[in-house]
């Protein structure tokens, strides 16, 4: 157990640290958080390590709490690694002694503390506001779902979007720029860089690929190996590297079992679920109205941020088409349930919203004589399947609108699509 003096030192240093942290560019998610500030709910920010959750807390502290009216605790601090939830009262008493009576807590990486939800519930029931962050979706949802049912609001923080990236680069984008030759060229240059580098804040700030490699290693070791007591670390890493290298390609759990020496299909499924829970990747299925068939159909895996593909993949050749598809998936998957479609033809993305398929999308770097028929046929097949009159093909830099019988096919550059729908 830490002494009161030790706690005072830690909490004082942590408060100074969060206040010294740059507020950075204002993240888009703040617009979603603002109307929830006055609600008597715990706001839970989850997301991959180092994606900017602490910076968002800093922005909330600055914008809505005048940099004074708050308590801050960071449980990523190694001095608090063995902290017991029963000691929360000691922390609260220490905070009151140091900073006076406040009614708002900001807590980073709270899932590191077992039974944290009991303290949060007790204080929340007594009128205290909480903003908490965590890097593991399953752990947070498990604890919060049982102890804080109806008392919390979950929000997922993702790496920088393309509009946020332009702000970071101090490029003052306006919609009119999409239609001017000079500014279109500038936007495309920024987009090529964003497509390759992704949106992880620290990497964009320092431009050192080792930053992404270290984040990935921390996810694998700290969030997965240590937390779930994995013994065959080499095979686990081999599985993940194979999936990342072959991102957006179809796979089955049985095929992976034959490639990676992990013993059973259930082990493969479990290890992939750990990667999803850490927010590093998402797995999608072929759409089928039968849930049973969805479960057994081939899967595809997409990596949360394109920068990690460059940092971890063993692929020797660059494939901008795969990067484009991975980026589009992450934008779509942030707000909708995504599947792929496959029958005689294949369509990259089927978007499910409110229990209805409302759009189908193909992604290709460039439409040309070699792939045009395949891309069109796959899209039209999906449009027929789901009785849609409109479909979209997203490319790097082609734009058109094609009427075919009673169907409309929109061809649009991804960079323009991203800026028209920020």
Q: Long-range contacts for 338-344 (Cβ within 8 Å, ≥24 apart)?
A: 338/284, 339/284, 339/285, 339/286, 339/287, 339/294, 340/284, 340/285, 340/286, 340/287, 340/300, 341/286, 341/287, 341/378, 341/381, 341/382, 341/385, 342/286, 343/381, 343/385, 344/381
Burial (0-12, 13-18, 19+ Cβ within 10 Å), 349: buried
Domain residue extents for the chain: 4-156, 318-422
Q: What is the pLDDT of residue 124?
A: 94
Which of 376, 378, 373 is closest to 411 using CA atoms? Answer: 376
Q: Which helix (H) or strand (E) covers residue 65, if one does?
A: none
CATH code that applies to domain 4-156: 3.40.50.300
Q: What is the pLDDT of residue 321?
A: 94
Q: Is the pTM of this model over 0.75?
A: yes
User: Across the strands, what pairs with 394?
Assistant: 363, 412
CA distance 194 to 236: 29
Q: What is the pLDDT of residue 422?
A: 66
Q: What is the pLDDT of residue 315?
A: 80
Q: How many residues does the chain have?
A: 422
Would you give the DSSP letter of residue 161? P
User: Across the strands, what pairs with 108?
Assistant: 74
**Half-sphere exposure at residue 103, Cβ-oriented, CA atoms within 13 angstroms:** 9
Q: What is the pLDDT of residue 316?
A: 66
CA distance 244 to 302: 8
Q: What is the pLDDT of residue 135?
A: 86
Which of 112, 204, 108, 133 is closest to 162 using CA atoms? Answer: 204
Task: Render each residue's pLDDT in the chain as its tens digit; 422 residues.
Answer: 789 999 999 999 999 999 999 999 999 999 999 999 999 999 999 999 999 999 999 999 999 999 999 999 999 999 998 888 888 999 999 999 999 999 999 999 888 888 888 899 999 999 999 999 988 876 677 677 677 878 899 999 999 999 999 999 999 999 999 999 999 999 999 999 999 999 999 999 999 999 999 999 999 999 999 999 999 999 999 999 999 999 999 999 999 999 999 989 999 999 999 999 999 999 999 999 988 888 889 999 999 999 999 999 988 666 899 999 999 999 999 999 999 999 989 999 999 998 899 999 999 999 999 999 999 999 999 999 999 999 999 999 999 999 988 999 999 999 999 999 76
Q: What is the pLDDT of residue 111?
A: 82
User: Across the strands, what pairs with 410?
Assistant: 392, 401
CA quadruple 388, 304, 169, 182: dihedral sign? negative
């Amino acid at each position: 157990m830490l002494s009161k003096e030790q706690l005072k030192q830690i909490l004082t240093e942590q408060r100074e640290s969060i206040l010294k942290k740059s507020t950075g560019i204002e993240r888009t998610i703040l617009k979603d958080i603002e109307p929830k500030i006055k609600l008597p709910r715990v706001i839970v920010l989850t997301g991959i390590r180092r994606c900017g959750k602490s910076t968002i807390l800093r922005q909330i502290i600055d914008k809505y709490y005048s940099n004074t009216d708050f308590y801050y605790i960071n449980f990523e601090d190694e001095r608090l690694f063995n902290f017991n939830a029963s000691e929360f009262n000691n922390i609260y008493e220490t905070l009151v002694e140091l900073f006076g009576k406040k009614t708002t807590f900001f807590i980073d990486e709270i899932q590191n503390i077992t039974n944290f939800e009991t303290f949060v519930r007790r204080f929340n029931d007594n009128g205290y506001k909480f903003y908490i962050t965590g890097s593991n979706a399953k752990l947070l949802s498990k604890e919060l779902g049982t102890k804080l049912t109806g008392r919390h609001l979950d929000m997922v923080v993702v790496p920088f979007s393309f509009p946020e990236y332009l702000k970071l680069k101090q490029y003052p984008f306006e919609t009119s720029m999409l239609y001017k030759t000079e500014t279109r060229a500038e936007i495309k240059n920024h987009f090529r860089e964003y497509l390759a580098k992704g949106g992880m804040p620290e990497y964009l700030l320092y431009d050192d690929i080792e930053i992404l490699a270290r984040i990935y290693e921390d996810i694998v070791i700290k969030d997965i190996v240590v937390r779930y007591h994995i013994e065959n670390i080499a095979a686990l890493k081999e599985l993940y590297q194979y999936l990342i290298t072959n991102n957006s390609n179809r796979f089955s759990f049985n095929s992976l079992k034959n490639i990676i020496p992990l013993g059973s299909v259930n082990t493969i499924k479990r290890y992939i679920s750990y990667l999803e829970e850490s927010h590093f990747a998402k797995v999608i299925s072929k759409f089928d109205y039968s849930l049973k068939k969805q479960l057994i159909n081939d899967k595809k895996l997409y990596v949360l941020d394109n920068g990690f593909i460059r940092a971890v993949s063993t692929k020797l050749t660059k494939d901008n088409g795969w990067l484009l598809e991975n980026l589009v998936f992450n934008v779509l998957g942030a707000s909708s349930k995504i599947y792929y479609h496959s029958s005689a033809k294949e369509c990259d993305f089927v978007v499910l919203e409110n229990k209805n398929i409302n759009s189908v999308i193909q992604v290709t770097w460039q439409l040309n004589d070699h792939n045009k028929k395949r891309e069109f046929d796959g899209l039209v097949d999906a449009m027929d399947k789901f009785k849609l009159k409109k479909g979209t093909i997203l490319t790097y830099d082609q734009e058109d609108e094609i009427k075919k019988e009673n169907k409309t096919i929109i061809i649009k550059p991804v960079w323009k699509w991203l800026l028209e729908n920020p």
